[in-house]
Every structure is written in structure tokens, then in C-alpha cells.
Amino acid sequence: MKIICESEHLEDYLLELDVVNYSDLIIKKKIEELFHSTQTEIEKTKIAFEFVRDEIVHSWDIQGKKVTYKASDVLKVKEGICYAKANLLASLLRSQGIPTGFCYQRLMLFDTPEKGYSIHALNAVFIKSLNKWIRLDARGNKAGVDAQFSINEEKLAFSVNEKFDEIDYPIIYIKPNSKTIDVLKEHTNALEMYKHHLPESI
């Protein structure tokens, strides 16, 4: 699939946002722990991706009720759904001058169309040394989900089945989709939110 940038300007993918708040002290502390000046951009991207994928748990996987959305809160609580985890990964990488955007898939929420659909969030990262965007999904691995860092071929958490009306949206957005942020702001129980209130389209 050919991916399309919302903006032609890479600096737009470095913006600090309310939910991508890399100037927050807790983010700064983690940045100091994860990164150092001798690392390449590829090394930093892999480190950040694997940290968010493995160390920030997905709320549904642990049946956790806490709702997080700002990157700093996601890091503090160490859990969130894919929307929240994408905010944290973008925050860590943008802090290092690595352009990072937001991508989406429309997927079946569970195992059949009758159980509904939801929008799934992941990130796209521009690797300057390779002059290419790569998509990464820090949702968190589990049985049947094996997302990996790869600069050659995508190894995402989910593949899209068009026969079931799933969609792989091609656009790399500068900011998180407003529907995804609004749903996080409006709910306090992550499980109820996940089952009944996630947006079905961007």
C-alpha cells in the first residue's frame, strides 16, 4: 500500500501537542533513560517502539479500567489502549527530532463483523537516513499479535481483511484523529469504552 503524507513538511510531524507533550518532566526523564547522543535514528526508533510496545500494557489485555490519553499520563500509569500508546510513541520520537505521524485501520472489534468495528491507531516514522516512512504498531503483542520493528517490510499487529469491510487508511496524519482523543476524554472506564464506544471510522 502506498502511504500518503497529510503534510509535505516534515517539521509538521515534530510538533508538540497537548497529547504529545514531550516537554513534560516525566517524558523528559524517560527520554534521558532511553536515548543517548551516539545512537542512530534507527536505534532510537527501535528502542522507543519496543519500550512502548512491551512496557506500556494494553488496557484490554489486562482488563484494566484506567483511561489515559496524554503521553505523560500514559507513561505515568503505564497502560492505555492503542490511541494512547500511539501518543506516547510519537512523543518520545518527536522529542528526538524524528518525524512521527498517526495512521489508522478499521478493524473488526472482536472476531466477527456482527460484534462491530473500531478504529485502530498506529504510527508512521520517517527515517531520514533511508528517506522513507515506516509504519510501526506499538499496540502490544499477545497470542496472535506479533508486531515487530522492521525497516524492510511491515510487521504490524493486524492485517486488514477487505472481505469483512476492514480498511487500511493510507494517510499519515500530523495529529491524532479527534474522534480517538474525544472518546478517551469522555470515558473513565476503559473496558466499557472499548466494548461500546470506540469510533468505527475516521
**Angle CA 69–73–78, to nearest 5:** 100
The confidence score (pLDDT) of residue 60 equals 95
Q: How far is CA 46 from CA 51, 141, 167, in A?
A: 8, 15, 26
Q: What is the pLDDT of residues 98-150, one digit of tens each?
A: 999 999 999 998 888 888 899 999 999 999 999 999 999 999 999 999 999 99
Q: 4-196 architecture in CATH?
A: Roll (3.10)
φ/ψ of residue 173, rounded to 5 = -90, 150
The residue ranges of every structural domain in the chain are 4-196
**What pLDDT was estimated at residue 155?**
97
Cβ count within 10 A of residue 44: 21
User: pLDDT by residue (tens digit) across 16-28?
Assistant: 999 999 999 999 9
Q: Please report the pLDDT score of residue 11 as a whole number.
A: 98
* pLDDT for position 164: 94
Query: CA-CA distance, 74 to 113, in Å (whole number)?
Result: 30
pLDDT digits (tens, 9 = 90+) for 25-63: 999 999 999 999 999 999 999 999 999 999 999 999 999
Confidence of residue 1 (pLDDT cuts 50, 70, 90): confident
pLDDT at 145: 94
The whole-number average pLDDT for the span 77-87 is 98
- Cα separation of 83 and 61, whole Å? 14
Could you tell me which residues come within 8 angstroms of residue 39 by beta carbon, excluding any fewer than 6 positions away?
47
By CB atoms closer than 10 A (0-12, 13-18, 19+), residue 104 is buried
pTM metric for this prediction: 0.97
What pLDDT digit, counting tens, does each position of 160-194 carry? Answer: 999 999 999 999 999 999 999 999 999 999 999 99
